[in-house]
Structure 1
Amino acid sequence: MKNYIQAEEWNIIESGFDPHLNKISESIFSLGNGRMGQRANFEETYSGESLQGNYVAGVYYPDKTRVGWWKNGYPEYFAKVLNAADWMGLELKLDGELLDLSLCKVTAFQRVLHMKEGYLERTFTAELASGKQVQVKARRFFSIANDEIAALHYQLIPLNFSGKLDLTAFINGDVKNQDSNYEEKFWDEVSRTQDESGSYLTLRTKKTAFDVITGVKTVVLQNSKTVQLTLDKLPREKFLSESGSVELTRNEGIDIYKIATNLSSQNYATADLLAQAKKTVQAAMAKGFDELLKEQAAAWANKWQEGDIIIEGDVAAQQAIRFNIFQLNQTYTGKDARLNIGPKGFTGEKYGGSTYWDTEAYCIPFYLSTAPQEVSKNLLVYRYKHLGKAIENAEKLGFTKGAALYPMVTMNGEECHNEWEITFEEIHRNGAIAFAIFNYIRYTGDASYLKEYGLEVLIGIARFWKQRVNWSADKKQYVMLGVTGPNEYENNINNNWYTNTLAGWCLKYAMEAAEIVKEEDPEQYQQIVAKTSLAEEKEFADWKEISANIYLPYDEEQGVFLQQDGYLDKEQILVKDLPASERPLNQKWSWDRILRSCYIKQADVLQGMYFFEDDYDLESLRRNFDFYESRTVHESSLSPCVHSILAAKLNDGDRAYEFYLRTARLDLDDYNNDTEDGLHITSMAGTWMSIVEGFGGMRVKNDTLCFNPFLPEQWTSFAFTIGFRGNQFTIKVTKDEIMINTTTKELLHINIFNKLQPVQAGETVINYRGLLV
């Protein structure tokens, strides 16, 4: 665990430069706008340890899977988000001496992520080997007001000398992915153009043939006068530069501005990319850096108004939740249903930048409450558009008749995960997608989604589960063999309780959804029946039979659901009895040893109890929570948030707060020693859930917002803003009161501690201690 980020409510601050922490900071201070993004690499040359990263949403490469042997149904490739052209590069030489913080004495250094306004600022003072001292202030941002624009202002001041500065500004497209399986570079150059409007480099991905143009206009000012740069005619592939020399005067600086765009053939015809890039850059240049930054601040103000969380009395917790909300809004905006949320967003390459079940299980609740309804709907439509591929994925594994198996990892709907125990066995992802449809309709009331998109998906998923189970003559029930549950420290096990529970629920929900569509729009229902070749009577009878008789492992003595068959055969040594020196297990133990242990990577049984909490009483939840949490090592970023929510439901304040802080500061404090690879974007949504669903106790039941708030003793109060069915609510919880603000003019009712309370425009104050009497 690291502890070098200063706690402040609205800013992420790093003071002092430690090169050993640089890759971690590159992740933490990353920027993005839903369309493109970038790690916090330095603008100037840096020869120290760094993970260079620039990314364009939706642009990927099918890197050949690297395995020792092949299996039928195995994915042929592992899709990867690509490290794209670096648009901000600067090479700065002072009297021939290169400015490189790896070679300098850094006497002052600060990096600040201004989350309220949405920009990154870095200041430093460095002494070169010659003794020359320079001061630098750099600010940059990716605009969410115009997601095709990024901008940079770099100011350099000589402190103790006058001399010559040789400046080169460049676009470098000669990049590769750190995780390239065979050290291959994934881009080919298509064209290059340099003129007075800027520099424009067009690259094309190998195999997938995405064209991406990176356009940059560089302006250098000295005493408010433009310094002319010369376009370099270098014979270097995938690289464009312009350079110039400036005579610097002591304590008088220069200002370098770069306005950049990344446009892809996803959104523009290839033939139009250059003209559109020039148009975009010129329009941004006409506004200038300062005006673009004002627009950025205004756009972020709207974001914070829609979904800020305010915590009083705990600066570390306040900083953490805003950091998580900030990164989520940088990663996905919901404007394009072809895009989804990679586990690392625009902050790194790990996990390929592809779509996982994290989106449905963790991210959709966040966007349901903090963004327009269309945003979360587009995440579901993304899966609907991949239904055909999901059916093909199932066919490759031997399933028939329209059974759909959604991929564990994907860019275009095809499975592209390269670990067999995940690809073939972690099939609970199907259930998370079905649950997300249910969750979306429950929250928005948009039942029309079923007839437009959802029912077809649910039918495909139900058909998969029907074929995936088999009848056990021994148990006289349906069983599911050879699976991996959410706990990936168990592979190829039988009857994972969570997976079986989800399968049974999916079968029932598919039938319920069919009845809803049939009743509300019989004509549309018949079209779906015809399109899917649904044999309603026979298939529904099978689904009903399986859902009513699926085997769910249970131990009578412990009074807990068993994670899988044989779980209690394992040696039951609790986590508290594990030496700290042996953790994290995935870095200290062999995989064989992990698989034979009782240790749990993340919520498994408890994930199911979180989804279907109304099916279990508090005592059952408490027994299972105490049993499984004591065996959970939380070595998945997705684990602490579920435990925090359930602990809050159990009124266990200490553990709820402990798990919240762990999930909220997972990256800021580098809990798992892996932040340098990129941030855990999808688990950040779980941080929001920990507060709103955990401490706030927010649920939607019978079309009504419900709250059962719980105030951690470390906090004076907390407040969160959510949108619900066209209305916006701000809920503030103190020791004794709940204050509800809404702009709605109509009288509404909110359920608080199981009592309906009237709410209308203005502030409603409820003394909930009185409610509890």
Structure 2
Amino acid sequence: MNQDYIQPNAWSIIEEGFDKDRVKSSESLFSIGNGAMGQRANFEETYSGPTFQGSYIAGVYYPDKTRVGWWKNGYPEYFAKVLNAPNWIGIDVEIDGIPLDLATCSHIKNFKRELNMKEGWYRRNFVATTPNNVEIEVIATRFLSLLQDEVGAIKFEIKPINTDAEVVLKPYLDAGITNEDSNWDDKFWNTTKISSEKNRAFIESHTMKTNFKVCTFMQAKMVYGNTTKEAPDSINESELSVGFEFSQKVKKGEQVALIKFGGYTVDRNHEANQLKKVANTLLDQVFSLGFDALLDEQKKAWASVWEMSDIHIEGDVKAQQGIRFNIFQLNQTYTGTDSRLNIGPKGFTGEKYGGSTYWDTEAYCIPFYMATKNQDVARKLLKYRYNHLERAIENAEKLGFKNGAALYPMVTMNGEECHNEWEITFEEIHRNGAIAFAIFNYTRYTQDHTYIPEMGLEVLIGIARFWQQRVNWSTNRNKYVMLGVTGPNEYENNVNNNWYTNYIAKWCLEYALEQLDHVQQNYTSDYKRILDKTKLTNDETGLWKKVADQMYLPYSEQHGVYLQQDGFLDKDLVPVEDLNKKERPINQHWSWDRILRSPYIKQADTLQGFYFFEDHFTDVELEKHFDFYEPYTVHESSLSPCVHSVQAAKLDRMDQAYTFYLRTSRLDLDDYNKEVEEGLHITSMAGTWMSIVEGFGGMRIKNGKLSFAPKIPKQWEKYSFKINFRERILKVTVAQDGTTFDIDSGETLEILVNGESVLLS
């Protein structure tokens, strides 16, 4: 059974009723962020029940020393961890001397959370009876400003319902925080200074080892009726925290509110010795503006985001809620303003995967940002990899590769590999191909041919060198083979000749050769600079061609399909539908040994290649491979349903495409994989966008032109989306009775619709 407590709503995520068993899941689902920082939806007040505390700052990490039982040469020294940052949201509450804690309240009613995606705010309200029998109503509203991205704001309102009450509100900053997932329980933060002045407080600290300097700050005031109390009644400082105390006798039926602004200034963005000064300036600005005016700014900023990125669906509120939740979380995680940042698979919603960058960015996220922002945002994501090329070369050198061969990391914060599962770190090398594919995909979509001579060609050369050195010549097959790899399907480790890996390696070599030729013809000075820098020779490129031409691709004549890898047909080929449902998901019920010997596929593997290189195969070949592999696919990776949805739509299997779409769009809302309390699946959310735009909308680039083959699920009346394509904004509306295209801005555009040329003006 999937969870189903989230109320269907087109623009909001809503939970009604308090259930302590749902608290951690909801902390993930109601997370907020603004690209620079983010936080789980932890309660402001004390909560003594099970909770997963988390506030995170983009780009701030700690190198947690690798913990393995048996060290192997080549292991990364550390696993990078996004850090649980000092907590600024805390507000302890006392009612007539008794702490407010929902875990100890005798009665809770009218509990409701709302994450308003349209306007970018989170609110929680409830009525609770404290252990001393005071009934109170609480409304807590908070948001992280998109425009002032170092600042967040909270309005915490309390009303005694059945009696007058003494209400004490204690806003605080707390640096005594830990990570849920530290390897050695190291101390991640060192607090250097705690200070307060009037109604402002500051904690200055730095991360151990990486030495990121951070100033956590807050300012608070209490409002009761027509009176505002700016100076707290008392200030409490300890070794790791600082707090204020505001006390007020509140009459029955009247409301007292605490307004609190807080956030972080970081030496990634400011001079290290100016962090407190910058924080003061920010507080001057937002405090003079006020909570309501800052919230109005927030609403306008989100309206601007939605203007371009919204997908509107009529006739299916759960599908509508799903896609908007995905788009909202993507925009909370990465705004495209900073080329030093990237997209962690959990964003700001949890610590799993360390908040690091994976191949998900290139394979799934770039299309979303390219089409809903502008090409500059996608270019920044590619520049991130170019900036890390030297590290990728170092990563390959550690494994014995030479001559500038580059292996991009499976997991990284700064370009250095920091993942330490052998079968993934050293075998899941197909990630190199995704980075090359992203360069191709970006160039194909934008027609920006400058990225490759400026940066991309050096990346392609490093990747091609890696592939050429990674293969073996097999005298038995008379072909080049690739041994000991793990494909996208991580339920198969250390296999030989994974078709997807071999195919993408072959393509990378061919694409690098093609782009070398293009740059030589059109950008002679860049070509000379790159050749001088890389020392590339004709002998070497000749070897690339030889490897590409003679790459072994496993194939079954019996089934007429490419084989996922050597030996796939030796498996006990029992389809997923014949598995005992009580044993699903298998990763939570089976031993790893049993999974590895099974035919079950975690996510699209061979079909991932058919998704990337659709133009290389016929629809008949796609159908044959889809029908062969999908029945063995358990979709226990968040990245799986979206690819299958796109392919099912292409094959005109709309019921199946719709089922996969609902699964990818509501993966977290309905907690398909029983793990949402650990955080959301941010990068797969970009795949959800693809399943509508590329799946149902059929959007492709064909012969340099934008092409559509629109379809619509029978459950929908119509849907629409916008595309930013080469400085033109195109709106596509697909209804049951036809499709309309509108250009909002830009010049005339020729597109293809079901293969026919259409001129839009």
TM over 0.5: yes
How does 1:671-682 map onto structure 2 within 5 Å?
A: 671-682=672-683
Instruction: Give the match for residue 550 of structure 2.
Output: 549
Tell me which residue corresponds to 2:125: 123
- In structure 1, give the amino acid aligned to 2:435: I
Distance 1:224 1:120 in 2: 26
SS in structure 2 at match of 1:340: coil
1:252 correspondence with 2:254: yes
Residues in 2 aligned to 1:2 and 1:387: alpha-carbon distance in whole angstroms:
43
Change (3 A) 1:131 1:231: closer
Given candidates 149, 152, 167, the residue that maps to 2:151 is: 149
Q: What corresponds to 1:22 in structure 2?
A: 23
Deviations 1:200-247 (A, max 9, x none): 111100000001111110111111312254475645222111113211
Matched with 1:768 is none
Q: Which residue of 2 aligns with 1:323?
A: 325
Question: Following the alignment from structure 2 to structure 1, what is the Cα–Cα distance between the partners of residues 745 and 39?
Answer: 39
Give the counterpart letter for 1:190 in structure 2.
T
Q: Are the structure 2 counterparts of residues 244 and 533 from structure 1 closer, same or farther at C-alpha, using a change threshold of 3 Å?
A: same
- Which moves more between the two structures, 402-411 or 373-382? 373-382
Pair 232,459 (structure 1): closer, same or farther in 2 beyond 3 Å? farther
Instruction: State the partner residue of 1:200.
Output: 202
1:332 is matched with which residue: 334, 359, 384? 334
- C-alpha distance in 1 between matches for 2:693 and 2:122: 28
- Which letter maps to 1:680? H
- Cα displacement string for residues 665-698 of structure 1 (whole angstroms, at most 9, x for unaligned residues): 0000001000000000000000000000000000
Amino acid at match of 1:341: I
**1:311 aligned residue (287, 310, 313):** 313
Contact 2:623–2:651 (CA under 8 A) maintained in structure 1 = yes
Identify unmatched segments of 5+ residues in structure 2: none
Residue 97 of structure 2 corresponds to residue 99 of structure 1: no
Alpha-carbon distance between aligned partners in 2 of 1:748 and 1:230, rounded to the nearest angstrom: 62
Question: What corresponds to 1:692 in structure 2?
Answer: 693
> Counterpart in 1 of 2:48?
47
By how many angstroms is 1:735 displaced? Answer: 1.5
Q: 1:110 aligns with which of 106, 109, 112?
A: 112
2:505 aligns with 503
1:436–1:340 distance in 2 versus 1, CA, 3 Å? same
Of stretches 563-572 and 223-232 in structure 1, the one that deviates more from structure 2 is 223-232
Paired residue for 2:623? Answer: 622
* 8 Å contact kept, 1:217–1:260: yes
How far apart are the structure 2 equivalents of 1:41 and 1:32?
Answer: 13
Q: Could you tell me which of 388, 392, 409 is aligned with 2:390?
A: 388
Deviation at 1:703, TM superposition (A): 2.1
Question: Residue 168 of structure 1 aligns to a residue in which SS?
Answer: strand
Q: Does 1:424 align with 2:426?
A: yes
1:82-109 C-alpha deviation (Å, 9 max, x unpaired)? 0001111111111111111111121110
TM superposition shift of 1:521: 1.2
Structure 1 partner of 2:563: 562
In 2: Cα distance, 1:230 partner to 1:267 partner: 31
Instruction: Out of 164-173 and 191-200, give the one that drifted further.
Output: 191-200
C-alpha separation in 1, matches of 2:21 and 2:746: 55
Q: Does the aligned pair in 2 maintain the 1:335–1:375 contact within 8 Å? A: yes
SS at match of 2:187: coil
Matching of residues 596-745 of structure 1 within 5 Å: 596-744=597-745
- Structure 2 letter corresponding to 1:606: L
> After the TM superposition, which of the residue ranges 197-206 and 637-646 deviates more from structure 2?
197-206
Matches of residues 433-472 of structure 1 in structure 2 within 5 Å?
433-472=435-474
CA contact (8 A) 2:472 2:480 kept: yes
Amino acid at match of 1:695: F
Aligned position for 1:516: 518
Query: Is the Cα contact below 8 Å between 2:356 and 2:413 reproduced in 1?
Result: yes
- Kept after mapping to 2: 8 A contact 1:15/1:109: yes
Q: Please tell me whether the aligned partners of residues 427 and 486 of structure 2 are also in contact (alpha carbons under 8 angstroms).
A: yes
C-alpha distance in structure 2 between counterparts of 1:723 and 1:132, whole Å: 55
Rounded to whole Å, the distance in 2 between the matches of 1:26 and 1:231 is 32
Mapped pair 1:71 → 2:67:
no
Matched to 2:101, the amino acid is D
- Cα RMSD (Å) of the superposition? 1.0
Residues 584-625 of structure 1: per-residue CA shift (max 9 Å, x gap): 111100000000000000000000000000111111101110
Shift of 1:197: 5.5
Q: Is the 2:199–2:232 contact (alpha carbons within 8 Å) kept by the matching residues of 1?
A: no
Correspondence list, 1:169-318, <5 A? 169-196=171-198, 198-230=200-232, 234=236, 236-318=238-320
Q: Distance in 2 between matches of 1:96 and 1:255?
A: 18
- Residue of structure 2 equivalent to 1:89: 90
Q: Is the 8 A contact 1:261 1:280 kept in 2?
A: no
- 1:427-447 deviation digits (Å, cap 9, x = unpaired): 000000000000011111101
| Mean CA deviation greater in 229-238 or 709-718 | 229-238
Contact 2:222/2:246 (8 A) holds in 1 = no
> How far has the Cα of 1:523 moved from its partner?
1.1
What corresponds to 1:140 in structure 2? 142
Give the SS at the match of 2:745: coil
TM-score, normalising length: structure 2: 0.99
CA distance in 2, matches of 1:289, 1:9: 26
TM norm structure 1: 0.97
1:47–1:102: 8 Å Cα contact kept in structure 2? yes
* 1:533-548 correspondence runs (5 A): 533-535=535-537, 537-548=538-549
Q: For 1:261, what is the secondary structure of its paired residue?
A: strand
Per the alignment, in what secondary structure is the counterpart of residue 677 of structure 2? helix
How many pairs were matched up? 759
| Structure 1 alignment gaps of length 5 or more | 761-773
Matched residue of 2:92: which SS?
A: strand
Counterpart of 1:765?
A: none
Between 1:351-360 and 1:221-230, the stretch displaced more is 221-230
Q: Which position in structure 2 is the counterpart of 1:767?
A: none
Worse-superposed segment, 557-566 or 237-246:
237-246
Partners of 2:693 and 2:53 lie apart in 1 by 35
SS at match of 1:344: coil
- Hey, what's the Cα distance between the residues in 2 that align with 1:680 and 1:224? 45
One-letter amino acid matched to 2:165: G
Structure 1 position 253, deviation (Å):
1.1
Residues 551-577 of structure 1: per-residue CA shift (max 9 Å, x gap): 000101111110000000010011000
Work out whether residues 357 and 432 of structure 1, in 8 Å CA contact, stay in contact via their aligned partners in 2: yes
Which stretch shifts more, 621-630 or 191-200? 191-200
Contact kept in structure 2, 1:142 and 1:150, CA below 8 Å: yes
Per the alignment, residue 572 of structure 1 pairs with: 573
Q: Does 1:343 align with 2:345?
A: yes
In 2, the alpha carbon distance for the partners of 1:180 and 1:236 equals: 25
Distance 2:336 2:241 in 1: 33
For residue 86 of structure 1, give the secondary structure of its aligned residue in structure 2: coil
Deviation at 1:369, TM superposition (A): 0.3
Shift of 1:725: 0.5
Question: Contact between 2:727 and 2:746, CA under 8 Å: does it hold in 1?
Answer: no
Relative to structure 1, the CA distance from residue 668 to residue 731 in structure 2 (aligned partners, 3 Å threshold; closer, same or farther) is: same
Deviation at 1:701, TM superposition (A): 1.7
Residues 231, 241 of structure 1: 8 Å contact kept: no
**Any idea what the Cα deviations from partners look like across 1:50-100, whole Å, max 9, x if unmatched?**
100000000000001110011111001000000001111111111111111
Deviations 1:466-503 (A, max 9, x none): 00001100000000000000000000000000000000
Where do residues 584-599 of structure 1 align in structure 2 (5 Å cutoff)? 584-599=585-600
Cα distance in 2, alignment partners of residues 643 and 239 from structure 1: 50
Question: What SS is found at the alignment partner of 2:90?
Answer: strand
- The residue identity in structure 2 corresponding to 1:264 is V
SS of structure 2 residue aligned to 1:262: strand
**Contact 2:139-2:158 at 8 Å conserved across structures:** yes
1:643 Cα offset (Å): 0.3
